[in-house]
Structures are given as C-alpha cells and as structure tokens.
A and B are shown apart, each in its own frame.
Chain A
C-alpha cells in the first residue's frame, strides 16, 4: 500500500453557500486532516475552485474522490501531479526587527523577492509569493529572527500548460 503523501485536489464547484462545508465534511468524517485549503471564484462567477492539499493514502483518496463526485454541487475534480502543475502560495509575516538586524532582514527579503509591506519601530511585515517550497525556506530563515505572527494562504494550483502533462482528470459524474 502506498505511503500517505501530499495530494492536491482541484475541485470545481458551484459557487453557493454550504458547498465548502460539504466538501470538508467528507474528509472530517473519515478523520483526515486537510493540510491546506484555498477557495475562490473562477473566471466564471457561477463556479468556484477549491484547492485542497491532504495527506492520505491512495486507496482512501480514491474513495473520497468518488464521494466528492457525488456531491450535487461538485462539477469536476482533478488530482494534480505536483511535478506537472504550477503551484503558488502567499505568505505574510511580522518579524522582530531591531535596528541591528533590520538591514539583514531587508537583504533577505530582497534575495527572495519578498516585499516589505509594513514597518514598525522594532518589527517588519514581509510578504512573499511563490512556490510552497520557496515559502518554506523563507519561513525557516525568518524564524531565526523571531516571528511574531505568520499567515500562509494555502496553495492554489493549475496544471501546466503542455497537453501531455495535464493532470489526470477523473471522468464521469456520480449519482
């Protein structure tokens, strides 16, 4: 049996009240923790895309995907292969930044292409957009300075553009 690993599900749903609760409920009742979740309307305001990252083995995932299909408001589900998708995430963090380290922090932000979005007497708020790995590295380096507060959005993802690399789209709809 396969080991649990990150799976990225891209779930296209009708943009209506309660849909997120239905989707999340299917994971909750089986005791699986959702690692990250991002929801927003798509180019069609009638539809939203939910990007879910979850740690679960292949076999239960297959069953969960089938159960997700059964939700009336779920229109399409794709499982995205991380090596064949573009993933982005946004991080903002407030970091302790006394006069002696402020220069270092600004330099670090420059290296990562992060932005300084707020400046206080002894703290800076930085924002960084990029791949989840890059954000992980940045977060680790910030930790040394003392993170006051940090928030990440959870990833959003789309398949890469070349046709062969397009993620597996599970076809068919459940009753």
Chain B
C-alpha cells in the first residue's frame, strides 16, 4: 500500500513509541501536520521553536526517553539551533524534525530556505537530509537508535516538502537492517575486563579516593550500582552539576557539588585525593579549574562510554570505555572478588575524617538579612526546598540562581534536577520545566529562574496554560544579570556595564496573569513561606512567584575562571578559617 512521506513519518514516530512531540507548524513542514490529526501522538504547540527544543530536552531529562521536536524550515530550524547545541553538550537524547524546501528548490535561496544540516552538523550527534520518501522509516529508526544509544545526543532529520508529499511503499526496517545500515556505529558498552580488574585494585589500594560522578551516571541509569561502590569502599562522593541527584545529598558520604561554585569540601577533596574514580564525568573546565594544578597527586580511573573523553583533558591511568551501569556492575563484582580473595582495602578512615572536617568547617552559608533588609535569594531556595512536595523536579536556568539551586536543594533521587550545564543556556528553565511536567505529570515541577533568563523564554507560559501543563516558576529577581554583575564586581573593579535590568519593569505578576497563570510577588522574608505554600496548593494553573531579592548577593564559594582549585574563594564568614583546608 502506498502512503505519503508525511504519513510514513508520523507512522514511524508512532512505531518508535513517541507519545508526545513539541512543535510549531509552518510552510515546508505543513504536510506532516495533516496526518498528525489522526495520530494518537500528543502535540504541544509552543510559542517559539526554541521552546519546543528545550521542552523536548526537559522531557528527555526526566523520562530517559528521547524528546521529539518538529518545526518548519529556515527561521524555525535556526531557532532550534540553541536547544540542539544544548542537548549535544549535555548528551540529551532528542530527535528533531525540520521541514525543508522541496528538493527541486534546495540551493536556490528559496523562501524560508537554510542549510539546516550544514548549520547543525557540529551540534548534533548525527543529522540527515532525506531525499526520498522511501528512506523515511529507516532514517527515523536510525535517528532513535543513534540518539538513545552510546553517548546519547540530538539527531536531526531534515525533510523537504516534496519528500513529505510524495508516495512511498511502507516498510519498517528490522533491527538487523538498522544495524547493517550503520557499519561504523558500534558503541562499546562493556568495559575491558583487564582494565576493570586493574581499576578495582587501584580502588582498594587508594588511601584518599574520591568518586567523581558526572552526568553519565544518570544517562546510564547507574545510580544504584554507584551507591554500592561508594558504600562498599566507604569513600567520599562528589556530584557534578550534571550529576546532582545521582547520589543522595543526605548520604553521609556525599560532599555535594565540586567546581567553580562547589562546596569547599568537594573541591578540596578532589585536590587532595590520590585516586579519582571518574564515572561518566568529562573533566569540564568548571570542575577542574586550572587543569595543570587539578588534583595533582591523583591517579585517574576514567569510565566513560565516549572514547574521545579519555585523555581529552586529563590522561587517565586506567581508561575504561563502556556504559557506566555495565562497568560499575563489573567493578562491584571485581571488588567483591578481590575482597573475598583476602585482599585488604587501604585504611581510608583518616581520609574520611579529614574530609568530614572540611565539610563541618565549611558548610554552604550566607548572611541572613536583617529585618527591613532585602530578601536573600538563598533563603528563598531553602524555604522552597523545605516546603517542596516529595519528588519535586527542580529545573533551573543559568546564572546565580542556578548555582544557588544546585547548592541549597537536597537532591535525594535521580532525575529530579534539570538544568543546562554545558552550554549554559539562559532561558532554558521555563520551557524545560514544561517538558519535564509533560513527561512526569504526577510530579510537582518547580522552575527556578533568574529575571534575565525568564525574560528570554517566558512566553512559553502561554503554552503551559493552553496545553494544561501546570508548572511553578520562582523568579530569583534581583533586577540584574546577577552572575555577570558578580564578575564585574569581583574582577572588573565594580565597573558595572550593561547588567542592570531595570528594576520594576516588567511586572512579572501581571505578566503571569496575562498568560493565564497565577502571579505572586514576594518582597520580605515573612512572605516567602506563605507564597510557596499557596503556589504548592494550586495545581490546575501555572504559578509564577516573583521573589524580589537583594541585588548585591554573590555566589560562594568560588574558584575564579582559570584559577587553581587551591585558590577557592570562601564566603566572607569563613575566610579566617582558610588554613583548615589542608
């Protein structure tokens, strides 16, 4: 039976068990929107294509399933560039479908034409211009296979209008046909047994080991095995920005986040360690600080599914290419074998007590505001944390509020934290929160946003209202581009250049109300808890809480860009105790 390319596309998406897609129709993708009317796939109509991309990311973050975004050609495709790059940097499985001008018009500067595969080549795991409707089912199967296996990432399919309109004979490729069509794609998931054994030996011999968890632990759904290793060895754990939630914050071994705004204990533990067990982490510059002085005495075990991460920043002593879950399972087995065989683990007691000392001496802290003084942003996050319903998903934008959110929240479960780590995309929060809520409709989703971030994508609150996806947004509103302001204060001699966002404009309460949401304004500490309680009690509509916070608050601790982790700047109240960080 003959069907059109567009019908084949929608059917293929159904075959891939897509239940929802985020999109925006337009000229060249029009043919695909017609069969969508008969499809069980839910379509969320966004207000800007960037929103569709971030929603697909948020959905993928919390469900582990690939997010799907469908938009038209030209400006719609270019609007999708930011989320594609974001998903690429943070290894988010995503399938993007873009319309393209008819094959006969490609290259003619036709209306709404752009070289989508050229533009997105370096920010997708793979992309493909489909030149024949007969190729659509295979292309869709390949896209989902590539997006979700190995190191996950975004895949884009570019579909010319005539390819969608012309007829084809339906054939759904088998698994074998898909694999045979990708002779160069064979992700290595199983770690090398000899390397695993060597790693286990190093882990037992180390006196100052640290488990350095990255986002790969979550991608591989390896949190359970990682916990087994931590408890088997009884060693400290740090969770990077992308790994928050991979190990419970309440666990006594968890030192929290390392890096530029990490806890002093996490940063220092890495620096003084003699063995870093890096699991699905990529030695990002925000974690290592100055690479030459990063963890100078540490040997490195590096487990990552992407061979290109091995030795990219720091040469590992034991590289293990493989899926974190499979490798950690093997590691647990190897450790048990060695221990059962009579091997003894080095005494890590002194190290643990040294690390605990740092944690006690240098907790996250801020100066509470005096009565009459402006509200402190950290306080808002603490109250929000303490009043959040169980399993609340926290989504953030990028900047000071993101760091405070990561610092002050208690992440107890995987997949409860969604943020833009690698690309640092302002405006990520509101659409990603909508995507997360679509993926987990039974959970409360709080977006923590800055006033700068919020103004980039907040029109998607209309999408939330009209698609009945109620989220909650807390704007940490200091009327400034806070993180840039902090850098100008600290590194540019308090010369504030273009960071003042203007105070009272816009009125976020009216903004929220105009988009069908409830708006609440909070000015003082005593208003914080009632506002959050009210927000938590409203479940049929989205709520925006505008926290008017102190403008000059800075994020601490801080390792200045390019500085060594040894030169971590502590909050003012702790600088006198600096010598304890030895």
Binding site for B on A (CB under 8 A): 13-14, 17-18, 21-22, 25, 29, 62-63, 66-67, 69-76, 172-175
Give B152's nearest chain A residue, CB to CB.
Answer: A175
Give B187's nearest chain A residue, CB to CB.
Answer: A175
List 14 interface pairs A-B (beta carbons < 8 Å), by A numbering.
A25-B122, A29-B122, A63-B311, A66-B308, A67-B308, A72-B146, A76-B184, A172-B321, A173-B186, A174-B187, A174-B307, A175-B151, A175-B305, A175-B307
The answer to whether A14 and B308 touch (CB under 8 A), given A72-B126, A72-B146, A175-B150, is no
The answer to whether A25 and B121 touch (CB under 8 A), given A17-B129, A72-B126, is yes
Report chain A residues within 8 Å CB of B310. 66
Please tell me if the beta carbons of B184 and A172 are within 8 angstroms of each other in the complex: no
Give B312's nearest chain A residue, CB to CB.
Answer: A63
Please tell me if the beta carbons of A173 and B187 are within 8 angstroms of each other in the complex: yes
Report chain A residues within 8 Å CB of B117. 18
DSSP class of B's interface residues: helix, strand, loop or mixed?
A: loop
Q: How far is the CB of A89 from chain B (nearest CB, A)?
A: 27
The answer to whether A75 and B184 touch (CB under 8 A), given A18-B129, A174-B306, A175-B305, is yes
Q: How far is the CB of B47 from chain A (nearest CB, A)?
A: 32
Q: How far is the CA of A18 from the CA of B130 in the complex (A)?
A: 12
Report chain B residues within 8 Å CB of A72. 125-126, 146, 182, 184-185
Q: How far is the CB of B281 from chain A (nearest CB, A)?
A: 16
Q: How far is the CA of A73 from the CA of B142 in the complex (A)?
A: 12
Report chain B residues within 8 Å CB of A17. 129
B149 within 8 A of A: yes
The answer to whether A69 and B307 touch (CB under 8 A), given A13-B184, A173-B186, A175-B150, is yes
Which residues 3-45 of B sit at the A interface, judged by CB distance below 8 A? none
Report chain A residues within 8 Å CB of B150. 174-175
Chain B window 185-228, contacts with chain A (Cβ cutoff 8 Å), 1 for yes, 0 for no: 11110000000000000000000000000000000000000000
Report chain B residues within 8 Å CB of A74. 184
Give B188's nearest chain A residue, CB to CB.
Answer: A172
Please tell me if the beta carbons of A14 and B183 are within 8 angstroms of each other in the complex: yes
Give the interface centre of A21, A63, A75, A173 by most chain B CB atoms within 10 Å: A173
Q: How far is the CA of A125 from the CA of B129 in the complex (A)?
A: 41
Report chain B residues within 8 Å CB of A75. 183-184
Give the interface centre of A14, A22, A172, A175 by most chain B CB atoms within 10 Å: A175
Q: How far is the CB of B423 from chain A (nearest CB, A)?
A: 16
Please tell me if the beta carbons of B121 and A21 are within 8 angstroms of each other in the complex: yes
The answer to whether A173 and B188 touch (CB under 8 A), given A66-B307, A67-B308, is yes
Interface size on B, residues (CB 8 A): 26
B493 within 8 A of A: no
Q: How far is the CB of A40 from chain B (nearest CB, A)?
A: 18
Report chain B residues within 8 Å CB of A67. 308
Report chain A residues within 8 Å CB of B182. 72
Report chain A residues within 8 Å CB of B187. 173-175
Q: How far is the CB of A111 from chain B (nearest CB, A)?
A: 45
Please tell me if the beta carbons of B129 and A71 are within 8 angstroms of each other in the complex: no
DSSP class of A's interface residues: helix, strand, loop or mixed?
A: mixed
B342 within 8 A of A: no
Q: How far is the CA of A98 from the CA of B183 in the complex (A)?
A: 55
Shortest Cβ-Cβ A-B pairs, 10 listed = A175-B150, A66-B308, A175-B187, A75-B184, A175-B151, A173-B186, A72-B126, A74-B184, A72-B185, A174-B307
B118 within 8 A of A: yes
Q: How far is the CA of A173 from the CA of B185 in the complex (A)?
A: 7
Q: How far is the CA of A74 from the CA of B121 in the complex (A)?
A: 15
Q: How far is the CB of B120 from chain A (nearest CB, A)?
A: 12
Which residues 103-150 of B sit at the A interface, judged by CB distance below 8 A? 117-118, 121-122, 125-126, 129, 146, 149-150
Q: How far is the CA of A55 from the CA of B125 in the complex (A)?
A: 27
Please tell me if the beta carbons of B129 and A175 are within 8 angstroms of each other in the complex: no
Q: How far is the CB of B311 from chain A (nearest CB, A)?
A: 7
Chain B window 62-91, contacts with chain A (Cβ cutoff 8 Å), 1 for yes, 0 for no: 000000000000000000000000000000
Q: How far is the CB of B305 from chain A (nearest CB, A)?
A: 5
Q: How far is the CB of B323 from chain A (nearest CB, A)?
A: 9
Q: How far is the CB of A62 from chain B (nearest CB, A)?
A: 7
The answer to whether A21 and B305 touch (CB under 8 A), given A13-B184, A173-B185, A173-B187, is no
Partner of A22, one of B121, B129, B186, B321: B121
Which residues 142-177 of B sit at the A interface, judged by CB distance below 8 A? 146, 149-151
Q: How far is the CA of A132 from the CA of B321 in the complex (A)?
A: 38
Q: How far is the CA of A173 from the CA of B121 in the complex (A)?
A: 20
Q: How far is the CB of B129 from chain A (nearest CB, A)?
A: 7
Q: How far is the CA of A14 from the CA of B126 in the complex (A)?
A: 14
Q: How far is the CB of B177 from chain A (nearest CB, A)?
A: 14
Give A68's nearest chain B residue, CB to CB.
Answer: B308
Report chain A residues within 8 Å CB of B129. 17-18
Please tell me if the beta carbons of B118 and A21 are within 8 angstroms of each other in the complex: yes
Please tell me if the beta carbons of B311 and A62 are within 8 angstroms of each other in the complex: yes
Report chain B residues within 8 Å CB of A71. 184
Chain B window 495-512, contacts with chain A (Cβ cutoff 8 Å), 1 for yes, 0 for no: 000000000000000000
Please name 15 further chain A to chain B contacts, defined as beta carbons within 8 Å, in addition to the given A14-B183, A63-B308, sorted by A numbering.
A14-B184, A18-B121, A63-B312, A66-B308, A66-B310, A69-B307, A71-B184, A72-B146, A75-B183, A75-B184, A173-B185, A174-B150, A175-B150, A175-B187, A175-B307
Report chain B residues within 8 Å CB of A18. 117, 121, 129
